[in-house]
Structure 1
């Protein structure tokens, strides 16, 4: 069971509890699952009980105890432990490496559509923006991101304005198309963007460079793997929880970016993925006389999955994902 599947499972548990009259709450659109925090246990944890406690008119501990039986009888879940003020800690059946294999397979199967869903299905979102460069760029990106969640965005120029990010202090066009897009989209809407040459510098201090460089590095190891005569094949990959967590979190981040009309959330998430995959890339190819093994094929598959997420995210922001850099 992948984190995305587990999130849906917890959501179904809430829905069953509501349908059976155990909880009187509005079923949320989504449930977030993360790694257990301090004092937690198991493979994943969720704070959904704390989220529902107030609207349910009871304690988070009580909500957690209501949800626990609905979860523990679900196939793929071995145990559920309630800790702290009401966190649900979930132990899955099977080896955690199987979860990594499943996640990579999901990304490979979906391709650039990984993370797309129907959280906002059927909604028509009207974005009323001023005639201003940053507002136009943000609105265009929001329209693309909304489409990933089943919604349709429409941009209008009339009052009252509903999307008004802080304008850029100067024209970003001299930065070039990609850097200009990033300069306007990376800051939160309430922050003033920096229109400086820093966005063009090819070093680690530049987040845009790290994201695009990470994608180019993944594409490079893929080409080199072909030369060495082996291809990617999903399998167990030890010690890469940071990268796996970032990839598993991509659907949630897309939904959040769409819901809050915030492409900056997607941009920052891409930086997180890049920072997780860059240290991993050097481990993908065999060294010296070493022969390609199942471990190399699994690492290549994980790296390529990260490349897929980076390319898809950059495309939604209107930025090129280079093959070489």
Structure 2
């Protein structure tokens, strides 16, 4: 169960509680689920009961208890606990890692795409400044990945302003009926507040030039370009792309040893499983907040978790490949898929070798 799945599960519990009369509130459009903080219970937590308490005219603890009753037998959840003033805490079943890996493998680079913003139409003003165009172009891609009808201009639906360059791997566009919607004639195209910065693919290459402008928050100064060309662990762009290439090498080396990826037994890798599960939420949040930098930061976290985990994947010495190795390789492969998909959203290539 991914955080996005869990968010929908909690939302459905709220809706059931309203439908059967246990709660009298307006069902929120979304429910926020985030990683449990240090000292918390389980892997994830939600403050939905606290946000509904005032409108329901009841205590958050009462609401949390109502929702807990409707969540306790949910497939994929081992336990639901109520803590503090009314936080819901979720412990996933031990096989949740297998569900996550299978979800990534089935979706491929499109893992994290969805329809949460289906029916939403967004138009951005035509732009000329390099960084503003690059950031907005990437936000359009993020919005479309979540089902929104997004583009430039006012008159034609999903109109694309000519991009600075074409990404190596463009993520599949979510096909929804929302793409046939046109904005109201008097709708004012949006603008994202962006600190200007030059786009320099000739001196930096496309990948470093894009990362320099997208990794910093749009309103902040872009990153200095030359350090992004150094192949060193202090270079976050290098770490992300190197982590992807390491996955490819692990798969090649495993094939030479006669085995492939197959998630057969639980793998203890909470940090890596956590960031992979967070990926759909990160993409949706980045789309809503018009913040591609959130995707870049998440890719750094994913790369760091993978690089810390990679040493456990292949057999050592005379050790024979086992179910544990096949399962770890499947998890590493899923991480590589997330890295490739995230890089493609930013228009950056995911190399096979570095």
Unaligned regions of 5+ residues in structure 1, if any?
A: none
What is the number of equivalent residue pairs in this alignment? 320
Q: Which 10-residue stretch deviates more, 104-113 or 79-88?
A: 79-88
Question: Following superposition of structure 1 onto structure 2, how do residues 91-110 of structure 1 map, counting pairs within 5 Å?
Answer: 91-92=91-92, 94=93, 96=94, 98-110=95-107
**SS of corresponding position for 1:85:** coil
Partner of 2:279: 250
* Counterparts of 2:235 and 2:63, CA distance in 1: 45
| Equivalent residue for 2:205, pick from 153, 167, 176 | 176
**SS of corresponding position for 1:318:** coil
- Check whether the contact 1:129–1:161 (CA below 8 A) recurs between aligned residues: no
Unaligned regions of 5+ residues in structure 2, if any?
A: 154-160, 162-186
Partner of 1:211: 240
* Counterparts of 1:266 and 1:284, CA distance in 2: 26
| Equivalent residue for 1:280, pick from 309, 322, 326 | 309
* Counterparts of 1:275 and 1:105, CA distance in 2: 22
**SS of corresponding position for 2:232:** coil
**SS of corresponding position for 1:28:** coil
Partner of 1:32: 33
- Check whether the contact 2:140–2:150 (CA below 8 A) recurs between aligned residues: yes
* Counterparts of 1:63 and 1:129, CA distance in 2: 47
- Check whether the contact 1:29–1:119 (CA below 8 A) recurs between aligned residues: no
Partner of 1:7: 7
* Counterparts of 2:327 and 2:310, CA distance in 1: 12
Distance 1:77 1:194, change over 3 A: closer
Distance 1:215 1:91, change over 3 A: closer
Partner of 1:230: 259
Distance 1:55 1:195, change over 3 A: farther
- Check whether the contact 1:129–1:135 (CA below 8 A) recurs between aligned residues: no
Shift of residue 235, structure 1, vs aligned partner: 2.8
Q: Is the counterpart of residue 268 in structure 1 residue 297 in structure 2?
A: yes
Question: Following superposition of structure 1 onto structure 2, how do residues 98-247 of structure 1 map, counting pairs within 5 Å?
Answer: 98-156=95-153, 162-168=191-197, 170-173=198-201, 174-247=203-276
Shift of residue 131, structure 1, vs aligned partner: 1.5
Shift of residue 203, structure 1, vs aligned partner: 0.8
Shift of residue 44, structure 1, vs aligned partner: 3.5
Shift of residue 318, structure 1, vs aligned partner: 0.3
Question: Following superposition of structure 1 onto structure 2, how do residues 71-110 of structure 1 map, counting pairs within 5 Å?
Answer: 71-92=71-92, 94=93, 96=94, 98-110=95-107
Distance 1:213 1:161, change over 3 A: same
What TM-score comes out, normalization by structure 2 length? Answer: 0.84
- Check whether the contact 1:214–1:277 (CA below 8 A) recurs between aligned residues: yes
Distance 1:129 1:86, change over 3 A: farther
Distance 1:78 1:304, change over 3 A: closer
- Check whether the contact 1:130–1:164 (CA below 8 A) recurs between aligned residues: no
Q: Please give the root-mean-square deviation of Cα atoms over the aligned residues, in Å.
A: 2.1
Shift of residue 57, structure 1, vs aligned partner: 4.2
Shift of residue 182, structure 1, vs aligned partner: 0.4
Shift of residue 175, structure 1, vs aligned partner: 1.2
**SS of corresponding position for 1:115:** coil
- Check whether the contact 1:60–1:86 (CA below 8 A) recurs between aligned residues: yes
What CA deviation, in whole Å up to 9, does each residue of 1:272-317 have, x standing for no partner? 1001001111211111222111111111000000000000010110
* Counterparts of 1:210 and 1:179, CA distance in 2: 13
* Counterparts of 1:177 and 1:253, CA distance in 2: 24
Distance 1:78 1:215, change over 3 A: closer
Q: Is the counterpart of residue 51 in structure 1 residue 80 in structure 2?
A: no
Q: Which 10-residue stretch deviates more, 151-160 or 205-214?
A: 151-160
Distance 1:189 1:54, change over 3 A: farther
* Counterparts of 1:163 and 1:105, CA distance in 2: 36
Distance 1:58 1:212, change over 3 A: same
Shift of residue 141, structure 1, vs aligned partner: 0.8
What TM-score comes out, normalization by structure 1 length? Answer: 0.91
